[in-house]
Structure 1
Amino acid sequence: MYKLAGLILAAGAGRRMGGGLGGKLLLPYRGEPLVVHVARKALAVCDPVVAVTGCNAEAVAQVLREQAPGLRFAHAPDWRAGQARSLRAGLESLEGDMAADIAGVLVFLSDQPLVRMETLETLAASFRDHPEDFVAPRYRGKRGNPVCIPRAWFARVMALDGDVGARPLLDHPDARLRLVDVDDCGVLRDVDTVEDYHALMNCRESVVIQEAQPALRD
């Protein structure tokens, strides 16, 4: 059985929320911080799971240790340089596991608490059936997150730089991208702004999302 590791990107400052203090991941949603919802779901479908911290690292790590035990942690000291540095830090932390049967990683955005467990299970199953492919969810024709990255592409992910994450690789001519249709608008919904947070607190999971969010972005 191929193993699918998980990376939770929890390093950003959340500047679009205002203040630039990196506190958005600790905002409450249904009685728990946003990032805890993501972490618990990641632990349910992936092994191991690494949370990559950066801004506000101590506070984020403390909450996750207390409320989502079982996580590993990696710190991206250069997190200000963009999401690619977080991906690199996460993959480097898994290097000791590479002799085992890890076939890829499922990359979670830490501000997407609405993604359903059945969606994650579907993505994981699709990846295990096709471990050489990138796998991403698609809702009503729009690509979302999280995204599975095959192990064969790890070196190219680690060579990336800037704030684009692994998105350029999905469009590489050699990449095989498998899109999985899901009935889950949560794959498009992240919390970037105060307005996003208010909408999250006042809506149901079934709300239709009008605008797609680029895959693998902070």
Structure 2
Amino acid sequence: MRISAILLTAGLSSRMGENKMLMPLSDSTVVQKTFEQLLAAGVDEIVVVTGRESDSVQLRIKNYESGKTRFVYNPDYEKGLTTSIQAGLRAIDHADALMICLGDMPLIKSEDYRFLMDSFANQEEYSIKVPFYKGQKGNPVIFAQKHFQEILNHTEMNGCSAVVQRNSESVCRIEVSSDHFIQDIDTPEDYQQILKAFE
């Protein structure tokens, strides 16, 4: 099964006051830490969707350049998350499934991504896989190809939650043992928590 990943790095970071993708983390940045784990997971293709400070984000990731990685600039990124997902989806090569990944989740390890992808690939009953940690919905979410057109037609700007809800009979909720799947960076307090994890 060919699984492509979209790595979303285009957001406004409005609650942070600065671009969280470029904030320092250990010996690099938030987006670099996230990307290197996704690359190490062995995903077939990574489409990195950029927006705010696109050149700077792309420069950080190019340190890890591989034939699996492509960059797409989303000129509509200020309109909402959905536009970036759609820009990434339009750019992927043929894929059996799509994993939508957030650039501000540097705690997710390569083995976390692999666990989710293997779980999806080794079953045929469900076409959407959503991780949950202690009842809380996490990321990334994987969609089979049958949902691609619905995602492209989706008009709500806050991502694909409504697509998941509309296809509830196709959703597999997978309980995960790690809180990595729910830890993103929206506020300065979130960032401080992530920093502690890398100390």
Report the TM-score when normalising by structure 2. 0.91
TM-fit CA distance, 1:78: 0.6
Task: After superposition, give the CA deviation of every residue in 1:104-161 in whole Å (9 maximum; x if it has no partner).
Answer: 1111110001113222111101111235511121111222001101111011101113
Match for 1:186 among 180, 187, 193? 180
User: In the alignment, what sits opposite 1:52?
Assistant: 49
Task: After superposition, give the CA deviation of every residue in 1:178-203 in whole Å (9 maximum; x if it has no partner).
Answer: 12221110111101111111121124
User: In the alignment, what sits opposite 2:113?
Assistant: 120
The size of the alignment, in residue pairs, is 196
User: In the alignment, what sits opposite 2:152?
Assistant: 158
User: In the alignment, what sits opposite 1:15?
Assistant: 14
Aligned pairs for 1:32-111 within 5 A: 32-43=28-39, 44-70=41-67, 71-94=69-92, 97-98=93-94, 102-111=95-104
- Change in Cα spacing, 1:56 to 1:175, as seen in structure 2 (3 Å) is farther
Aligned pairs for 1:119-158 within 5 A: 119-130=112-123, 133-158=127-152
| Distance in 1 separating the partners of 2:130 and 2:187 | 24
* Contact 2:38–2:109 under 8 Å retained in 1: no
| Distance in 1 separating the partners of 2:121 and 2:143 | 11
Aligned residue for 1:138, secondary structure, equals: strand
* Contact 2:11–2:77 under 8 Å retained in 1: yes
Aligned residue for 1:6, secondary structure, equals: strand
User: Alignment RMSD, CA only?
Assistant: 1.8
- Change in Cα spacing, 1:171 to 1:79, as seen in structure 2 (3 Å) is same
| Distance in 2 separating the partners of 1:45 and 1:35 | 18
Aligned structure 1 segments of 4 or more residues deviating by more than 4 angstroms: none
Aligned residue for 2:149, secondary structure, equals: helix
Question: Unpaired runs of 5+ in structure 1?
Answer: 206-218
Match for 2:21 among 21, 25, 28? 25
| Distance in 2 separating the partners of 1:58 and 1:202 | 28
